[in-house]
Amino acid sequence: MAKLSNRDKILSAGVRVVHERGFGGASVRDIVQAAGVPQGSFTNHFVSKEAFGLEVLDIYFQQSLVLFAETLRNEALTPLQRLDAFFEANIDRVSGAAVCNGCMIGNLAAENSDSEMMRPRLIHIFQEVQAAIASCLRAAVTAGEVRADLECDDIAAFLVASLQGTNLLAKVERSAEPMERLKRITFNTLLR
């Protein structure tokens, strides 16, 4: 097994520390301590904390892309089964030990909406999430699983915003119920 570089150690620990404490609450000292590397290693590998934050965000988002492949873009399932699997994966995530951490993407968006370095990347990520949901909804229309006049892009945008809100509520309430409620409303009301 290859030995991790200090840079890789910092990024790996950084994902965990930033997710647990938030971007503002995770000091460089906290991150390098968690990584077990000298403090100077951080500035050797990252020009700024924001540049580091972008890389941590991308690592975290890669997990979302895997989730999309397994759920929303999994053509072995019917479109509504894909959407159901996506919701179930989110329910499982907010039911686990990390429920108190919420969604790191949403957390970073709340903390860094004024960052001209991070904001464009966050916008792009939310657009990717919306596109994956909209594609699944369009497939459901084509398959006749939902009504033909479904506004797929609008509903996908609504679901992205709702998912972020339910992540926040699940974080505060320490409960999966907000995500379960969103799933029920989506299937029983929005997609009827």
CA 70 to CA 82: how far, in whole Å? 8
Show contacts of 53-58: CB within 8 Å, 24+ apart. Answer: 53/18, 53/23, 53/108, 53/112, 53/118, 54/117, 54/118, 54/121, 55/11, 55/14, 56/11, 56/14, 56/15, 56/18, 56/104, 57/104, 57/105, 57/108, 57/118, 57/121, 57/122, 57/125, 58/121
The pLDDT value recorded for residue 101 is 81
Q: Residue 177 has which token pair?
A: 């119920």
Nearest alpha carbon to residue 18 among 3, 30, 7, 9: 30
Domain boundaries along the sequence of the chain? 1-46, 51-190
The pLDDT value recorded for residue 1 is 63
Residues 23 and 53 sit within 8 Å (Cβ to Cβ): yes
Residues 191 and 146 sit within 8 Å (Cβ to Cβ): yes
Please give the class, per CATH, of domain 51-190: mainly alpha
CA 62 to CA 22: how far, in whole Å? 19
The pLDDT value recorded for residue 98 is 58
Superfamily holding 1-46? Homeodomain-like (1.10.10.60)
The pLDDT value recorded for residue 97 is 64
| pLDDT by 10-residue block (mean), the chain, 192 residues | 86 94 93 94 94 96 95 98 97 77 89 91 96 98 97 98 94 92 97 91
The pLDDT value recorded for residue 94 is 87
The pLDDT value recorded for residue 99 is 64
